[in-house]
Structures are given as C-alpha cells and as structure tokens.
Amino acid sequence: MDNLTTYQITVAASTKNLARVREFISEHATSEGFSPQTVADLCLAVDEAYTNIIKHAYKFDASKIVKIDLEFDDQKLSVRLRDKGESFNEDKYVMPDISEQIKNKRRGGMGIYLMKKLMDKVTYDSSGNENEIVMLKKRE
C-alpha cells in the first residue's frame, strides 16, 4: 500500500488568491522533495487551472469557491481542482496559434496547452454538478 499524504485548500474564486495558491503548491511539493524546476512547473499548471476556473467557470464571481486537493504517494503527485461553475467543453478546445492571435490582437487559450505540456496527465470531468480537473506529475 502506498504512503499517501494529502493537503487541501479552499479558496474564493479571485485572482487575488493566485499567489496564495502557488505558495500552497510550492510549500508542499518542495517539502516532498520535488526539484525547483518541477515545483515551478506545478505552480504554473495549477495557476493556469485556477485562473481558468475564475475566468470561465465563475466569470470573476469572487463569492464562489474552488477546492484544491493535493495528494502525494510514492510514485507521483496528484492535484485536483473542483468548482461548481460553468463546464468547460474540452472537445471544442483548439490549441492556440500564437502568431495568428498576435495578428488579430487576441490572447487566451494558452493555459490548457501549458497544463498539458507541464504535467504528465490532465483529465477533466464535469459529470454531476461539479467540474473537476485532475493533474498528475510523476516523481523524478
């Protein structure tokens, strides 16, 4: 049986809390022995996921909350973010063409791409009344 360690934080859906969320991830991942570069990657992936929830699921309504669970076992770290806002339709997601977006003075869509690049596995589930994104990172 794996040794499991779990941590949880519940935060209001506000960009004001981004630094706090990054600190939560960084503190625990560092003490679990992840390298500084991996810790930086984890913080960015969680930042992007949480920012997407604030912007798209809750449309900047800071009265809503986001639950973040962080779980470590012998092989990996798993981080889960849950919200009850508008669901994200993964099928409609297209990887952004940055040079095309620049021409059109547009931005966005980069968060999901970064999350997938930085983590080993990203899954999204919006069955029931809750949206859940789970990201896994193997131990080095």
* Residues binding another protein (CB under 8 A): 15-16, 18-20, 22, 37, 40, 43-44, 47-48, 51, 54-55, 98-99, 101-103, 105-108, 110-111, 113-114, 117-118
Residue 110's alpha-carbon distances to 15, 67, 93, in angstroms, are 17, 23, 11
In terms of CB distance, is 41 or 78 closer to another protein? 41
Nearest in space to 138 (alpha carbons), one of 46, 27, 34, 5: 34
Expressed in percent and rounded to 5, the helix, strand and coil fractions of the chain are 40, 25, 35
Query: CB of 47: closest distance to another protein in angstroms?
Result: 5
- Closest approach, Cβ 115 to another protein, in A, equals 10
Please state the closest distance from residue 39 (CB atom) to another protein, in A. Answer: 10
